[in-house]
A and B are shown apart, each in its own frame.
Chain A
Amino acid sequence: MQSLLQITTVLSVCLLLVVFISVRREHIRVEYSVTWFLASVFMLLLSRARPMLDFATRHFGIPDTPLTLFLTIGSIFVIMFFRLSMIISSLRDDNIALAQRVAILEFHIQSLRERE
């Protein structure tokens, strides 16, 4: 269990660094990095709080502490991916509406040119 927590600590620090570098290089926008920062900080705290994990394991009747860690981190990422899917869907709708608008406006411009 101890080695699993240490690996989680290393992974969360790596994730924090990757997110930080990506924001600095403007590969992801600040508003989308917040969720990743929060997730990696949460992973880091969880990996350094063994008593809290043990308490949750006992409280929810989960058979294993590593399973509690896996379930908690898994849940965080499922929520994050769902949120990102919502953002992508919204962007796709906007993108389609925008493309249609551009095409229609170009059609009107072309029609005006033909009329002149």
Chain B
Amino acid sequence: MIRASGPGSLLVIVPAWNEEGAIAQVVQDVRRSVPDVPVLVIDDCSTDNTIRRAREAGADILALPHHLGLGGCVQAGYKLAFELGFDYVIRVDGDGQHDACDIPRIFERLKNSGCEMVIGSRYVGGAGMHESGLRGLGIRLFRRVLRPILGRWVYDPTSGFVGVNRAALDVFSRSFPLDYPEIEALVVLQRRRFRFEELPCKMHPRRTGRSSITPTKSMYYIFHVLMGVFINVLRYESRFHRKPKGG
């Protein structure tokens, strides 16, 4: 059973939907990388053996009663982590693209930097900056759109390899973008004057299955996310804003 082990406790969450081919390896990699840290697989109502494979690999399971999509799935994990009293949560995708060896570095940075969120980035420092195709175009577009909103460059805004502390967990457990959450989540944090950092991380090609974002969905994705970003910019929830120091 998952339980926060005290101050500084970490939970690794793995949102998964029909990832029976990859989930066991992902869970095992995480457990090898951070042996004492509980792993929670959030199953978004898979129709295959994702739950069984994850359980056999040693993960705890949060099984959603019907398919909610990535945002709803991740938020369920954040809500449970917050309720159980965890101070840090790191999200790893269930398709095996994220390298579990990077989890300790993200955790260290979360604890030591005082940032509310640390993003495992493929592109920070210029690596892989010139990705071709529609995906590269989309990432470059989002970088430019986010630059004036966030007041700084974010090199890998679509990365799902993120760690958050309890303050961000509190916000995300109440308000989290539902469909394509990564980019909008940055704006949600920025609106509350939270800080984030990017940390260079390795990414692998997905082990099995197909990405939920197919080329045909890409245009819709770009439009949807841009809408979400601008709406989040316009939305003002004063009760979440921090008071300036000395103010």
Contact = CB atoms under 8 A, between A and B. Distances in A.
A68 to B, nearest CB: 34
B76 A104 contact: yes
A99 B79 contact: no
A103 B64 contact: yes
A15 B75 CA distance: 42
Interface of B: 1-2, 42, 60-66, 68, 72, 75-76, 79-80, 83, 178
Contacts, number: 37
Interface of A: 96, 99-100, 102-104, 106-107, 111, 114-115
B2 A111 contact: yes
B62 A103 contact: yes
A107 to B, nearest CB: 5
Q: Is the interface of B mostly helix, strand, loop or mixed?
A: mixed
Given A96-B178, A103-B62, 8 more contacts: A99-B68, A99-B72, A100-B64, A100-B75, A103-B64, A104-B83, A106-B63, A107-B60
A99 B64 contact: yes
Given A99-B66, A103-B62, A114 B1 contact: yes
Q: Is the interface of A mostly helix, strand, loop or mixed?
A: helix
Given A96-B178, A114-B1, A115-B1, A103 B72 contact: no
A107 B80 contact: yes
Contacts of B75: 100
A98 to B, nearest CB: 9
A104 B79 CA distance: 8
A115 B2 CA distance: 11
B76 A100 contact: yes
A1 to B, nearest CB: 41
Contact of A103 (B1, B2, B76, B178): B76
Contacts of A111: 1-2
Nearest to A115: B1
B65 A104 contact: no
Contacts of B61: 107
B164 to A, nearest CB: 17
Contacts of B76: 99-100, 103-104
Contacts of A103: 42, 62-65, 76
B84 to A, nearest CB: 9
B214 to A, nearest CB: 23
A114 B3 CA distance: 13
A114 B2 CA distance: 11
Contact of A100 (B2, B60, B79): B79
30 contacts: A96-B68, A96-B72, A99-B65, A99-B66, A99-B72, A99-B76, A100-B64, A100-B68, A100-B72, A100-B75, A100-B76, A102-B65, A103-B42, A103-B64, A103-B65, A103-B76, A104-B62, A104-B76, A104-B79, A104-B80, A104-B83, A106-B63, A107-B60, A107-B61, A107-B63, A107-B80, A111-B1, A111-B2, A114-B1, A115-B1
